[in-house]
Amino acid sequence: MQKETMRIAVLDDWQGVAKQSADWTKLQQRAEVVFFEEPFAGPDKLASALADFDIIIAMRERTKFSKELLDRLPKLRMIALTGGRTWTMDFDTLNARGIPVCHTGGEKSGAATAEIALGLLLSAARCINRGDASIRAGGFQAGVPSGDVLDGKTLGIIGLGKIGSRMARYGAALGMQVLAWSANLTVEKAAAAGARWVDKATLLAQSDAISLHLVLSERTRGVLGAQDLALMKPGAILINTSRGPLVDEAALVERLKTGKLTAGLDVFAQEPLPPDHPLRSLPNTVLTPHLGYCAREVYAQFYRESIENVLAFLDGTPTRVLNPEALGQSR
């Protein structure tokens, strides 16, 4: 009896870069590899399209693997995740079914994200996006706001991990004073990163620009709500390249409507951002479509290591496993 061919789905409906980012030959010699480069029109289409696949290579947190979806994927044996962490996996269900989730590294991902944060800050401060739009519309300087110099201003960093620390260095290079806060940050750790620790309220009140660099969790969800946004200086800039739900998005929209705040956003509560979302029409925003980690070097590592992870699983030696409990192992 002929052995059934293993089927692998590559979810690549973000930028359609998977094919050219790695050499898929070894994997294609052992399995049927199908690339999905268009978004699915709802959960039913998603479940139907993936129901016959044994392995799924997923792009970061783009697809939510809920119990409802997993229950409709009877053949699923393994998920290869690009990146090192996720909040979109129902690990209880995965563990109960013995389905490992194997992750990749992303050494350049932090640098890529910090660079996007810096770009958003510069664009928001100097109205680069507004100037670009004016020229493309046939105009020039007329109607383009004058912007603000960052040298001598204060940058507040919320979350001083690897990306936040890099952003702190960028701020210092621009001649900015750097403040920092997070729930677990100490005075000593802030100083080691070239920042001064202050409490949350002080950071909000004193910063000319604030950049968010927290991991999304139940504790950090909504870390900036309506009252927090109201504490920010009139004319301040908010940068978010971490996760949309860190900010109360409805409250942010209302604050932006007052004209007292400018926002540079790479992440949103719902992605892709709905076509009719009010953020799209507010002039005091700089918006990018979750490009933080989207760089050639990052994609090359994501897909090279995803292929390695799948091959290791096929060989019976799963590697880089996020949930060893699925394999009957302890962390």
Tell me, yes or no, if 290 is annotated catalytic.
yes
Q: Give the strand pairing for 209-212 and 261-265.
A: unpaired
Q: Which of 290, 305, 308, 320 is catalytic?
A: 290
Tell me, yes or no, if 4 is annotated catalytic.
no
Query: Rounded distance, CA 262 to CA 165, Å?
Result: 23
Q: Which of 213, 243, 255, 320 is catalytic?
A: 243
Tell me, yes or no, if 271 is annotated catalytic.
yes
Q: In what order do the strands lie in the sheet with 55-58?
A: 32-36, 7-11, 55-58, 78-81, 101-102
Give the list of residues 6+ apart from residue 326 with CB closer than 8 angstroms, or none. Answer: 94, 95, 97, 98, 99, 100, 101
Q: Which of 7, 72, 97, 271 is catalytic?
A: 271
Give whole-number Cα distances, 199 to 187, 207, 266, in Å: 10, 12, 26
Whether the Cβ atoms of residue 209 and residue 153 lie closer than 8 Å to each other? yes
Give whole-number Cα distances, 320 to 49, 125, 155, 254, 292, in Å: 27, 41, 37, 43, 23
As annotated, the active-site residues are 243, 271, 290
